[in-house]
Structure 1
Amino acid sequence: MDHAMPIIILAAGGATRMRGRDKLLEPVAGVPLLRRQALMARAAGQGPVVVALPPRPHLRYDVLEGLDVQLLPVADAAEGMNASLRAGILALPGTVRCAMVLLADLPELTAADLRRVADAVDLTDGNMIWRGATAQGAPGHPIVFRSDLFPALAALEGDSGGREVVSQQADRMVLVPLPGDRARLDLDTPEAWAAWRARNPDAVQD
């Protein structure tokens, strides 16, 4: 594992299906989800953690206060996920050989999961992408991109989340199975949060 690998957390989206609530501020084990994700990324390695955020002022900045992470306002965040991905990639030092991209709204991922994906990275084997997957093999997050792909990621527009780049590298991608469905499980509605909490009364502890 490259212990200095940067991690980009995509956290600039509007959470429009939450009907006024912000899913990234929902508590998980007593901690706002976004703060939990930043702490998880910080614990996963020694590299920089970049958090792409909506423009200030926004409550998401408050829950990240005091953490050793780079807060990256995304002026065009309303465009969609690719604006955050673009900004995060462009914020990286030019010497970086790969970077991990993490969605902010996956409440069951752990630091050990991130390390497992990072440990699979081998920059000598010709692959371009290493990606977390469910236990059944469905592709999910986090995703590590080799720096060769940074120009393509930095040129994306819209809300695809980099799917075009990923699909073009399907034969040079390594899937890393993680326990259960946590590589894909996100909670986009109040009902989904209520159902998840009913199944996980103590939420998730790393």
Structure 2
Amino acid sequence: MLRHRPSLIVLAAGRGSRFAGGVHKLAQPLGTSTVLATTLVHAIASALPVLVVTTEALAPIARQHVAARDIVVLPEVGSEPGLGMGRSIATGVAARADAPGWLILPADMPLVQPATMVAVAQALEQHPVAYAQFEGRRGHPVGFAAELFSELVRLDGDEGARRLVARYPSLGVDVDDPGTQVDLDTVDDLSLLRAAAGGLSEPLVVERG
């Protein structure tokens, strides 16, 4: 049982520029849902408090699963200086400044299981940094204890939190969850993701001119 429940911050504000499918990768079909919605369903099932950092284009999907108060909308990456993963993390942490810690989960990792999120959250009760680890390979989510608040909220641009993981004592939490290694960057990744999820028939959604 968790004594303290860190906030689970789902990062869904990236541009996804490597994905050439036309429609944003997070809005692509996955099974009977979408990539973003599947990630959110798993996040909610963890019973951790969920906050989604996203853009206006993807906010309608997020609003189908979480309350408006649990969504922070950022401008599209590239529309103003400083936007990127670092800014998304900082914004999410600042929005839940009173949390006893934060788990960071990229929204393009819909196969991460709820039990994995809980395991990383439990590790934060004893460690400043913890991350999911499958067969010796570091994956997501990555968790940070409340003592790192001041550093997390200073992140900006595309600077993620890797340097914090390297700087502070961190624990790799061994989990039986290959989804911790599976993200979505390209159209080929989407095919592999659908195969892993058991959804082989969804069409690629492209923009119509």
Q: TM (normalized to structure 1)? A: 0.84
1:154-173 alignment, distance < 5 Å: 154-169=153-168, 172-173=169-170
Distance 1:110 1:162 in 2: 22
Corresponding residue to 1:102 among 102, 105, 115 = 105
> In the TM superposition, what is the alpha-carbon distance from 1:98 to its structure 2 partner?
1.1
Distance 2:63 2:73 in 1: 14
> In the TM superposition, what is the alpha-carbon distance from 1:201 to its structure 2 partner?
3.4
> In the TM superposition, what is the alpha-carbon distance from 1:161 to its structure 2 partner?
1.6
Q: For the structure 1 residues 148 and 76, does the alpha-carbon distance in structure 2 shift closer, same or farther, using more than 3 Å as the test?
A: farther
Specify the code of the residue in structure 2 equivalent to 1:113: T
> In the TM superposition, what is the alpha-carbon distance from 1:157 to its structure 2 partner?
2.0
Other-structure match for 2:205: none
Specify every segment of 5 or more residues in structure 2 that has no aligned partner in the other structure, as ranges. Answer: 201-209
1:49-128 alignment, distance < 5 Å: 49-54=50-55, 56=56, 58=57, 60-69=58-67, 70-75=70-75, 77-78=77-78, 79-94=83-98, 96-123=99-126, 127-128=127-128
- 3-state DSSP class of the match of 2:9? strand
- Count of residue pairs brought into register by the alignment: 192
> In the TM superposition, what is the alpha-carbon distance from 1:198 to its structure 2 partner?
4.1
Q: For the structure 1 residues 9 and 119, does the alpha-carbon distance in structure 2 shift closer, same or farther, using more than 3 Å as the test?
A: same
1:126-141 alignment, distance < 5 Å: 127-134=127-134, 136-141=135-140
Kept after mapping to 1: 8 A contact 2:36/2:110? no
Corresponding residue to 1:21 among 15, 20, 23 = 23
Other-structure match for 1:174: 171
Give the 4+ runs in structure 1 shifted more than 3 A. 75-78, 198-203
Specify every segment of 5 or more residues in structure 1 that has no aligned partner in the other structure, as ranges. Answer: none
Distance 2:43 2:111 in 1: 13
Distance 1:189 1:90 in 2: 31
Give yes or no for the alignment of 1:185 onto 2:188.
no
Kept after mapping to 1: 8 A contact 2:111/2:197? no
Backbone CA RMSD of aligned residues:
2.0
Sequence identity, in percent? Answer: 27
Q: Deviations over 1:115-145 (max 9, x none)?
A: 222233324xxx21111112x2111111110
Q: TM (normalized to structure 2)? A: 0.83
